[in-house]
Amino acid sequence: MDEAYFSGLSVGFKFDYIRHYAALDPYSPLLDGSWKKLSECFSDGLLRRSEGYNDFVLTCGIRDILGARLADTSSHCAIFGSHQQICRSFSGRVDATVDLVTIPLKHAARRHIGPFSSRIDGLDESRTGVLAEGRRFYFHVDNGRRYPDETACVFSTPGDATAHAFVLAQELAQDESWHGFYILVTDEREREIARVRMGQ
């Protein structure tokens, strides 16, 4: 484990996790792109026998965890988890919340591990011309005149790229001078994927 960012109940236990409990964590290796609860991955009996659960999770004051693996390369992965305090349970709105935040979180995770994976993985793109994960999408600013994006970003699907365009549009729309402009999303072949208006 290279890094861990903790907040809330477990913030004071970050270094204990990195130094010792990450190696004993039975939950994180089970995570993939879907959201899973710790309590649904293991029986109560197995959790009662788990050093990582008893000495770390419960000691932090945590009853359950909802997590997912948001990004994965051959050398790095990014996992996000939301902790639920002892004597409480996840809200019935958790599924709707997860649907709302998953794509922005995946995008943030890919950006975070991107510099590490490109240095270590040797960039398949430079050797083969093909990106190891996803496709390139461009985010042009358009108000009748196009201000082209020449760098692009990599996303797994056009839907992920479109979600990123909505995030960009919301951020830029905080400045009213951008209202009426559009974020135009295109793929590598300059095909239009989406057009997202900024502001009203």
Per-residue pLDDT averaged across 66-89, rounded? 84
Last residue of a domain, one of 121, 144, 159: 121
Q: Looking at the domain assignment, is residue 188 inside a domain?
A: yes
pLDDT band, very low/low/confident/very high, at 184 (cuts 50, 70, 90): very high
Q: Give the total number of structural domains in the chain.
A: 2
Best CA proximity match to 160, nearest among 39, 71, 38? 71
* Residue 107 near residue 163, CB atoms below 8 Å: yes
SS3 of 81-97: EEEEECCCCCCCCHHHH
Whether residues 19 and 89 fall in one domain: yes
Tokens (6 digits) for 119: 């240095």
Better-predicted residue by pLDDT, 98 or 126: 98
pLDDT above 90 as % of the chain: 12
Mean pLDDT of the residues in the chain: 80
Q: Looking at the domain assignment, is residue 116 inside a domain?
A: yes
- Domain extent, residue 141, equals 134-197
Q: Looking at the domain assignment, is residue 126 inside a domain?
A: no
Tell whether the torsion through CA atoms of 57, 62, 66 and 67 is positive or negative: negative
What's the pLDDT score for residue 127? Answer: 35
Taking the complete model, does pTM exceed 0.85, yes or no? no
Burial of residue 23, with CB atoms counted within 10 A of its CB: 0-12 exposed, 13-18 middle, 19 or more buried:
exposed
Last residue of a domain, one of 89, 121, 153: 121
In this predicted structure, the answer to whether residue 196 has a pLDDT above a threshold of 70 is yes
Tokens (6 digits) for 177: 């001078």
Last residue of a domain, one of 121, 153, 183: 121
SS3 state of residue 138: strand
Q: Looking at the domain assignment, is residue 189 inside a domain?
A: yes
pLDDT band, very low/low/confident/very high, at 150 (cuts 50, 70, 90): confident
